[in-house]
């Protein structure tokens, strides 16, 4: 049984419990999306993947040739921010929502290595962050939302009732990301994935604009040695305590 099926066969969460807002932050490839999605399925919450939004902007930048020799044309990007429309929609029959850029489903495209290799350049731009944070705050306004990213508990939803900060060893994260890329039929080496994960960690934690930080009131979840089910149980217990 895969994780999606597991979460669907779980006993429904008691519906008398008030819905809360949950922020999940952490390093690249430490299983944030997997946990956030299963938790959302179990609770009947809405899941919002903020990394996908920065990936959509990066795809726009690449498609519109705003990166020359590894340098981003920040001015051109800022001038075109109004032309970038990002939304999440569920294709018919799907369980999870896909990312749409200007009306086109780009879910698969934004997960490729080319996007991963350039997204830190784009996500460090102040104007991009301001725009994405405003959009995320609008999406996170309702209760029953699980939002996942790097600055959710600190900047986007500082009043979230539950904040989880996820981490895992570098080896575990690299192996997970490598397997994920391979499972999509894309060619990549372990070394390339390791370089990308390390470089994104460095840039995410050192950028000037809302760097990746653990919120003071976040609960740390190191999942290096935890199964999917153990992580889900841990999170469900936290939700019960914070509802």
List residues binding ligand DC (CB under 6 A). Answer: 28, 50-51, 54-55, 119-120, 123, 149-151, 200, 204
Query: Which C-beta is closer to ligand DC: that of 25 or that of 235?
Result: 25
CB closer to ligand DC out of 14 and 70: 70
Tokens 């600190």 — which residue?
Answer: 154
CA gap 75, 168 in Å, rounded: 36
Whose Cβ is closer to ligand DC: residue 42's or residue 116's? Answer: 116
Whose CA is closest to 142, among 13, 14, 19, 51?
19
Distance of closest approach, residue 51 Cβ to ligand DC, in angstroms: 3
Of 111 and 243, which has the nearer Cβ to ligand DC?
111
Kindly give the residue spans of alpha helices, DSSP state H, lying in the chain.
Answer: 3-9, 32-43, 50-63, 74-79, 113-123, 126-139, 170-183, 190-206, 228-242
- With tokens 């390390």, the residue in question is 198
Q: State how far the Cα of 111 lies from the Cα of 90, in Å rounded to an integer.
A: 17
For the bound state, the minimum distance from the C-beta of residue 241 to ligand DC, rounded and expressed in Å, comes to 25
| 3-class DSSP state of 31 | coil
What minimum distance in Å lies between the beta carbon of 22 and ligand DC? 14
Residue 63 beta carbon to ligand DC: minimum distance, rounded to whole angstroms: 17
Least separation, in Å, of the C-beta of 8 and ligand DC?
24
Residue 200 Cβ vs ligand DC, minimum distance, rounded to whole Å: 4
Taking the least distance from each CB to ligand DC, the nearer of 37 and 200 is 200
Rounded to the nearest 5 percent, the helix, strand and coil shares of the chain are 50, 15, 35
Token pair belonging to 159: 């009043």
Nearer to ligand DC, 19 or 204 (CB): 204
Say if residues 202 and 230 touch (Cβ distance below 8 Å): no
């Amino acid at each position: 049984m895969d994780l999606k099926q597991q979460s669907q066969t779980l006993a429904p969460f008691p519906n008398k419990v008030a819905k809360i807002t949950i922020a999940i932050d952490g390093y690249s490839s430490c299983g944030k999306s997997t946990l956030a999605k299963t938790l959302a399925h179990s609770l009947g919450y809405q899941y919002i993947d903020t990394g996908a939004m920065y990936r959509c902007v990066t795809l726009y930048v690449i498609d519109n040739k705003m990166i020359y020799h590894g340098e981003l044309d920040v001015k051109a990007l800022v001038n075109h921010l109004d032309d970038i429309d990002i939304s999440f929609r569920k294709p018919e029959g799907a369980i999870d929502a896909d990312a749409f850029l200007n009306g086109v489903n780009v879910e698969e495209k934004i997960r490729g290595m080319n996007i991963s290799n350039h997204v830190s350049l784009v996500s460090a731009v102040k104007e991009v962050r301001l725009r994405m944070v405003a959009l995320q705050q609008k999406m996170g306004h309702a209760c029953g939302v699980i939002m996942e990213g790097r600055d959710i508990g600190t900047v986007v939803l500082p009043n979230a009732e539950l904040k989880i900060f996820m981490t895992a060893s570098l080896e575990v994260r690299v192996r997970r990301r490598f397997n994920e890329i391979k499972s999509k039929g894309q060619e990549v080496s372990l070394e390339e994935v390791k370089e990308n994960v390390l470089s994104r960690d460095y840039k995410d934690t050192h950028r000037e604009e809302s760097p990746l930080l653990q919120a003071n009131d976040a609960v740390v979840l190191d999942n290096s040695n935890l199964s999917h089910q153990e992580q889900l149980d841990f999170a469900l217990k936290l939700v019960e305590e914070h509802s």
